[in-house]
Amino acid sequence: MFTQTRWRAAALILPFAVAALVLTASEAGAVSGTMPVNGQLVSQVLTAGCTSPIGLCTAGSLNGGIQGDFVFTAASLAPTNVPTVLSYTGMIVIHTKTGNINIRDAGIFDTTGNGPVVDLSTVTGGTGDFAGASGYLEVFGTFTFAAGGNSDYRGKLVLP
């Protein structure tokens, strides 16, 4: 049974709890500061409209902490000291409902089997709610030229 003191304490705490829920459920751009993000992404090789100097682009979507569609434009693709592993660099633009997130990207993937991939994506800014954003995403999963990719991501998004 609640006493008068407990009712007062609950009345004081409730507005803060509601505010925390609203901030958690709000769009990323409505909040400033550092936010941990994680989720999944899927991609396919993009053939039409690819502007990569080496002719390699992918497109897909993210869900989870960041939701939107993206395009990756490769700047380089090179062999490594491991015969079946390639390294790559490029730029990613993620299109969300509240703005774009710009990312500088680098990773490696194995061209055999299901194509394990690891990737470090550095947030370099954006538009709309993501203007001035920074942070990073770590991407890990699979990618093949024929099947595309299925990966998880985790990281931090820092909004001014």
Domain ranges for the chain, please list them. Answer: 1-30, 32-159
Pick the range with the lowest mean pLDDT from 8-12, 19-23, 62-66, 156-160. Answer: 19-23
* Size of the chain, expressed as the number of residues it contains: 160
Q: In whole angstroms, give the CA distance from residue 17 to residue 82.
A: 52
pLDDT at 14 over 50: no
Given pLDDT bands bounded at 50, 70 and 90, which one contains residue 30?
Answer: low
Q: In whole angstroms, give the CA distance from residue 150 to residue 22.
A: 31
What is the dotted CATH code of the domain comprising 32-159? 2.40.350.10
Q: In whole angstroms, give the CA distance from residue 24 to residue 39.
A: 16
Q: In whole angstroms, give the CA distance from residue 89 to residue 76.
A: 5
**pTM recorded for the entire structure:** 0.80
Burial class (CB in 10 A: 0-12, 13-18, 19+), 70: buried
Angle at 130 between CA 124 and CA 133, to 5 degrees: 40
The average pLDDT across 94-114 equals 97
Given pLDDT bands bounded at 50, 70 and 90, which one contains residue 69?
Answer: very high
pLDDT at 21 over 60: no
Return the pLDDT at 6.
39
Which H or E run contains 11? Answer: helix 4-25
Q: In whole angstroms, give the CA distance from residue 62 to residue 48.
A: 21
Which H or E run contains 19? Answer: helix 4-25
